[in-house]
Structure 1
Amino acid sequence: MEKLLEIKNLHTSFYTHVGEVKAVRGVSLDLDKGEAIGIVGESGSGKSITMMSTMRLLTDNGKITEGQVLFNEKDLSKLREKEMEKIRGNEIGMIFQDPMTSLNPVFTIGEQLMEPLIKHKKMSKTDAFNKAVEMLKLVGIPSPEKRMKQYPHEFSGGMRQRAMIAMSLVCAPKLLIADEPTTALDVTIQAQILELMKDLKSKIDMSIILITHDLGVVADVCNRIYVMYGGTIVESGNSRDIFYNPKHPYTWGLLRSIPNPKEDIKERLKPIEGTPPDLLKPPAGCPFAPRCEYTLKICLTERPPQFEANKGHCSACWLNHPDAPKVEANIERGNS
């Protein structure tokens, strides 16, 4: 498969009054054309910052300190802002976490949909209006001509999310980055949004990066999954590897927190004890070591490399070293 995106050893830091926050610490991932991948992990794992670094949308105190972001073999981390403006919204679209804060409240939905078409595609206002109406129809918004004249506050939560999807797709980008696209939506709307993304992926042959803290959301959408923790990737593999043969204790913990509706049990879900690491002072060893029930001495002092379990399935855990004690994957809910 032809590579669309390659992130190589990405490091991103934020410089604050209390010191340097190392939010992303050596992330490497790739995406083929037409593929969908998921990036999962708790809040603060570095998922969104990795993608904001890719889009070059960091705040003024944020900086890519090392690594490459290759999109169609072009290093985005080295481009000038004017060159990035031609790529954002045109070749790479992004759905942000909260559509109410991402949509401009003083412009109509139609104006916001038409703007990228006029800017990037050089369309006339009439052609841009017709294309915007077509996109609203495509994402399932009823009475699109009427909705074009409405403001974001006049849309429901699910409709605002659909409008954001329409806005990110209106220029037919090669890559769609969806950052928690189903957050704060009820389960019915969540299912509709995910089904819509799968449908659009097949219709316009684009690649998708889905960012979420919920492994259940990526199960039906993504070909491959990257698990992030503490600004690093701790495990990666195809969906079957991650769900049926996970190799990292953090992935086990995430899987234990997913309710199984097919099992007739009344046990409580088992949370991952503790809190994520302070990235002002990142741990020297494995970032998950303080919360892991299988911590070895080496875990506290040396960061584990990526051990390959099988082709395309890697885990950054010392338990995968040939000389480490053998531990069975503990993903059953309620087990200790």
Structure 2
Amino acid sequence: MAKLLEINNLRTSFHTYLGDIKAVRGVSLYLYKGEALGIVGESGSGKSITMMSIMRLLPENAEIKADSIKFNNKDLNKLSDRDMENIRGNEIGMIFQDPMTSLNPVFKIGYQLAEPLIKHKHMSKKEANKKVIEILRLVGIPGAEKRINQYPHEFSGGMRQRALIAMALVCNPKLLIADEPTTALDVTIQAQILELMKNLKSKIDMSIILITHDLGVVADLCNRINVMYGGMIIESGSTRDIFYNPRHPYTWGLLKSIPNPKEKIKGKLTPIEGTPPDLLKPPTGCPFAPRCDYTMKICLNNMPEAFKIDKGHFASCWLNHKNAPNIEKTNAGGK
């Protein structure tokens, strides 16, 4: 299977008066064509910054370095700003976290969706409006002919999110990046949006990267999952690997903090104690060590390698070393 996206050793820092915030620290990942990849982790783990780095949508004080960022046989590192403008919104679509702040309140929905078609596909206004109506119907917005003449505040929260998905899809991108697309929505609308994305993936043969802090959200949609913490990927594998054979204490903690519908006796959820690392002064060892119940001396000063657990399954934890003590995995979160 061909790779659509391949990132090698991405590092992103923000220059501030306090020093450099090392938000992304050596991230490498890949995405196959037609695949859905989940990137999960707490707020501040570097999920969104990783994707914004690829899109070059960060403020001026950001510094982005990478050995390579290959997308559809192009190295995005080597593209000019003008060439990147032709990639964004055209070959790569992105759904941002909050639809109310992502949509311009002073322009009608139809205008905002037609704009990328006119810019990237060189369509006439009439052709673009026809395509906009089609895409609004595709994402499940009723009365699309009337809706294109309405403003964002006239849409409900769920409809605004659908409009934002339509905007990301209107140019038929090869890759859709969805950054917490269901965070501001109630549970019923969340399920509808996730089902919509799942259906669209199969209908238009599109690859998806889903960014979320909720492992439950990625379970049904994604083929593989990357778990991020402290600006690094600390575990990666198939969805089955992550849910049924997790091998990093942080992943165990994430799994134990979501409800398990199969449990007959409902107990309290277990939070992960402590706070994420200070990325102004990132730790030299494992970033999760101060919060981990299984911390060893080596964890504090030496970052573990990505140990291979199985084909396509890797975990950066010293517990996976052949000489590490045997930790009982009964509380390790396998669902």
Q: What CA distance in whole angstroms lies between the structure 1 residues aligned with 2:177 and 2:216?
A: 18
TM-score by structure 2 length? Answer: 0.98
After TM superposition, the structure 1 stretch with the greater mean CA deviation from structure 2, 15-24 or 72-81, is: 72-81
Within the alignment, does 1:149 sit opposite 2:141 as a pair? no
The reply on whether 1:317 has 2:323 as its aligned counterpart is: no
Task: State the alpha-carbon separation in 1 of the partners of residues 333 and 70 from structure 2.
Answer: 39
The CA deviation string for residues 166-222 of structure 1, in whole angstroms up to 9 with x for no partner, is 000000000000000000211111110001001000011010000000000000000
Which stretch of the first structure deviates more once superposed, 60-69 or 190-199? 60-69
**Cross-structure match for 2:117:** 117
Unaligned segments of structure 2, at least 5 residues: none
Aligned twin of 1:86: 86
**Mapping of residues 159-178 of structure 1, within 5 Å:** 159-178=159-178
Task: Output one character per residue of 1:213-268: Cα deviation in whole Å (capped at 9) or x when no partner.
Answer: 00000000000000000000000000110000000000000000011223232421
Contact 1:225 1:242 in 2 (8 A): yes
Opposite residue 22 of structure 1, the aligned amino acid is K
Letter aligned with residue 323 of structure 1? N
Aligned to 1:211: 211
Give the C-alpha shift of residue 85 in structure 1: 0.4
Give the RMSD, CA atoms, in angstroms: 1.0
Q: What is the identity, as a one-letter code, of the residue corresponding to 2:132?
A: A
Alignment partners' CA distance in 2, 1:177 and 1:331: 30
Q: 1:186: which partner in 2? A: 186
The alignment status of 1:36 with 2:45, answered yes or no, reads no
Per-residue deviation, residues 132-181 of structure 1 (Å, max 9, x unmatched): 00000000001111110111111111000000000000000000000000
Partner residue of 1:289? 289
Residues 1-336 of structure 1: pairs in structure 2 closer than 5 A? 1-329=1-329, 330-331=331-332
- Residues of 2 paired with 1:263 and 1:311: CA distance? 30
CA distance in 1: counterparts of 2:328 and 2:180, whole angstroms? 31
1:67 to partner: Cα distance: 2.9
Aligned partners of 2:8 and 2:66 also within 8 Å? no
CA distance in 2, matches of 1:181, 1:328: 36
Q: What is the CA distance between 1:48 and its match in structure 2?
A: 0.2
On the 8 A contact 1:176/1:207 being kept in 2, the answer is yes
Question: Residue 42 of structure 1 contacts residue 213 of structure 1 at CA under 8 Å; is this kept in 2?
Answer: yes
Aligned letter for 1:240?
R
Measure how far apart 1:332 and its partner are: 5.1
Deviations 1:44-69 (A, max 9, x none): 00000000001111111111133321
Percent sequence identity over aligned pairs: 75
State which drifts further: 142-151 or 72-81: 72-81
- The total of aligned residue pairs comes to 333
**By how many angstroms is 1:322 displaced?**
0.3
User: Does the 8 Å contact 2:253/2:333 carry over to 1?
Assistant: no
SS at match of 2:67: strand
Instruction: Give the unaligned 5+ runs of structure 1.
Output: none
Amino acid at match of 1:4: L
Q: What amino acid maps onto 1:331 in structure 2?
A: A
In 2, Cα distance between the equivalents of 1:315 and 1:158?
A: 37
Paired letter, 2:315: S
Q: In structure 2, how many angstroms separate the alpha carbons of the residues matched to 1:275 and 1:204?
A: 41
Q: For 2:49 and 2:34, how far apart are their aligned partners in 1?
A: 23
Q: In the TM superposition, what is the alpha-carbon distance from 1:76 to its structure 2 partner?
A: 1.0
Distance between the aligned counterparts of 2:67 and 2:206, measured in 1? 25
Which letter does structure 2 place at the counterpart of 1:103?
L
Whichever residue aligns with residue 318 of structure 2, its letter is W
Residue 226 of structure 1 aligns to which amino acid in structure 2?
N
In structure 2, relative to structure 1, the CA distance for the partners of 1:224 and 1:315 (3 Å cut) is: same
Which TM-score applies when normalising by structure 1? 0.98
Alignment partners' CA distance in 1, 2:119 and 2:172: 14
